[in-house]
């Protein structure tokens, strides 16, 4: 008699209460708050004090709403990237306290903590399949609308002022700075390809083409080279996922040879020099600026390396590079043009170690998301092609060698989505395996 009585946990899966669905309905407000913050990423004009922007207000609201939701529902929160960023913040505090510009250092440290909180919010809100897919779709839809708006802005300016005199040849649009705008649109194109949103290819291709054209309109060389590098990395990762490591290595060698040959051909035929006199404004303001940009980076690298040799191991302090160069009457007083030099110079050896920890964690999470043995990303998570997310990270890596991206809101949104997929993998919203039913195995008569 005891064997024939069904146990409470032996009911079929369809009879179990749908707890994840009730929780999903309760999470609707916090999802929309984070989605609104993702949609506001390009809203950086007008700029406020201490590099603040209207987007920061929306992000701050999303952080507060998420904290209230977590406290009221007693959610178990995860804190990705806290080790690397924690070391960077500690190094920044030490350098700022002992440096000559503590005010700039304090602002930089606050920005570090704020962006870490934003990535943590994205990572924890996207804990289920439904939530992760919602956030990815929010980026795809809002990013597409921003891309169409920029194209309309450029066409309107060209129609009223003429293509030869339009001031929007290197557009920054509402992002203000052209290189930041180029990264946003390049990253958005990769997110759309990763999420396959819009679902129909007949709609997705024009949207991606519009975003690529927007990237070209910004005139950012880092955006152009980063996008191409991201496509190459995507191809290698996709081959590794489908064909294995040997085929991926072969594809990598082919891509490296083709890329090297293309670079040599550009040098041989003096493409950069000829682009300076091109009739095409977009070519002239992108490839045509290659020599000028290279000269500026060389001059700034020489000045920053001189500062590093004369500074202490703790660094000058966050954000102190430009002020120090102005004080020393340097011929090209600018902020450091890449994350690696900036962290080493301003936060010292300890900060550089923190940056290496952060990069290592990002690489580990990216490899985990694309691993076939990981139970995470699948078509139901809203990211059916995670290799394109790795392509977006490759674009960011290229940017990090020419621009400072550690304080870029788009970059930390990418980190948050990557952490959500690598930590939760959409598993929290999936029903667990059904318990065995004694009545189905013939033990009950």
pLDDT tens figures, 291-345: 667 667 777 777 777 787 777 888 888 988 878 777 777 766 777 778 898 899 8
What sign has the CA pseudo-torsion 412, 235, 143, 31?
Answer: negative
Do residues 307 and 324 lie in contact, with contact meaning Cβ atoms separated by under 8 Å?
A: yes
pLDDT for 87: 96
What's this model's pTM, rounded to 2 decimal places?
A: 0.85
pLDDT band at residue 276 under the 50/70/90 scheme: low
- Kindly state the tokens that stand for 338: 């890449």
Q: How far apart are CA 58 and CA 35, in angstroms?
A: 10
- Kindly state the tokens that stand for 270: 């003096």
pLDDT for 86: 96
Residue showing tokens 């024009």: 206
Structural domain boundaries in the chain: 26-429
Least confident range from 19-28, 92-101, 140-149, 359-368: namely 19-28
Count CA atoms closer than 13 A to 359's CA, side-chain side: 15
Verify cis geometry, omega within 30 degrees of 0, for the bond prior to 198: yes
Do residues 421 and 376 lie in contact, with contact meaning Cβ atoms separated by under 8 Å?
A: yes
pLDDT tens figures, 210-225: 999 999 888 888 888 9
Q: How far apart are CA 393 and CA 415, in angstroms?
A: 9
pLDDT for 364: 94
Beta-carbon contacts of 355 under 8 Å, excluding residues fewer than 6 positions away, are 84, 88, 339, 340, 343, 406
What sign has the CA pseudo-torsion 103, 106, 108, 110?
Answer: negative
């Amino acid at each position: 008699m005891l064997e024939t009585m069904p146990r409470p946990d032996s009911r079929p899966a369809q009879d179990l209460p749908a707890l994840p669905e009730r929780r999903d309905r309760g999470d609707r407000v916090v999802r929309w708050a984070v989605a609104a913050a993702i949609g506001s990423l390009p809203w950086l004009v007008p700029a406020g004090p201490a590099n603040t922007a209207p987007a920061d207000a929306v992000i701050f609201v999303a952080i507060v709403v998420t904290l209230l939701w977590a406290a009221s529902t007693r959610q178990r929160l995860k804190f990705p990237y806290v080790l690397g960023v924690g070391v960077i913040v500690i190094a920044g505090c030490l350098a700022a306290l002992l440096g000559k510009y503590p005010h700039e250092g304090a602002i930089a440290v606050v920005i570090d903590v704020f962006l870490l909180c934003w990535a943590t919010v994205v990572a924890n809100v996207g804990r289920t399949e439904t939530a992760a897919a919602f956030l990815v779709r929010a980026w795809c839809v809002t990013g597409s609308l921003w891309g169409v708006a920029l194209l309309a802005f450029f066409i309107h300016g060209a129609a009223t002022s003429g293509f030869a005199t339009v001031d929007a040849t290197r557009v920054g649009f509402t992002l203000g700075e052209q290189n930041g705008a180029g990264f946003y649109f390049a990253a958005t194109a990769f997110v759309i390809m990763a999420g396959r949103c819009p679902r129909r290819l007949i709609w997705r291709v024009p949207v991606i083409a519009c975003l690529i054209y927007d990237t070209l309109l910004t005139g950012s060389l880092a955006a152009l080279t980063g996008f191409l590098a991201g496509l190459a990395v995507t191809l290698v990762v996709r081959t590794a996922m489908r064909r294995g490591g040997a085929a991926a290595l072969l594809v990598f060698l082919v891509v490296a040879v083709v890329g090297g040959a293309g670079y040599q051909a550009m040098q041989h035929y003096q493409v950069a020099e000829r682009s300076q006199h091109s009739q095409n404004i977009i070519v002239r303001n992108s490839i045509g600026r290659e020599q000028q940009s290279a000269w500026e980076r060389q001059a700034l690298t020489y000045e920053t390396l001189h500062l590093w040799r004369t500074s202490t191991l703790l660094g000058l302090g966050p954000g102190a590079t430009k002020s120090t160069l102005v004080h020393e009457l340097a011929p090209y007083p600018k902020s450091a043009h890449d994350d690696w030099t900036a962290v080493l110079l301003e936060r010292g050896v300890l900060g550089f170690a923190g940056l290496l920890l952060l990069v290592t964690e990002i690489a580990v999470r990216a490899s985990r998301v694309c691993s076939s043995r990981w139970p995470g990303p699948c078509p139901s998570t809203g990211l059916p092609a995670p290799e394109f997310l790795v392509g977006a990270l490759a674009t960011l890596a290229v940017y990090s060698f020419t621009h400072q991206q550690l304080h870029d809101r788009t970059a930390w949104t990418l980190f948050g989505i990557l952490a959500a997929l690598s930590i939760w993998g959409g598993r929290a919203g999936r029903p667990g395996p059904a318990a065995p039913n004694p009545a189905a195995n013939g033990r009950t008569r």
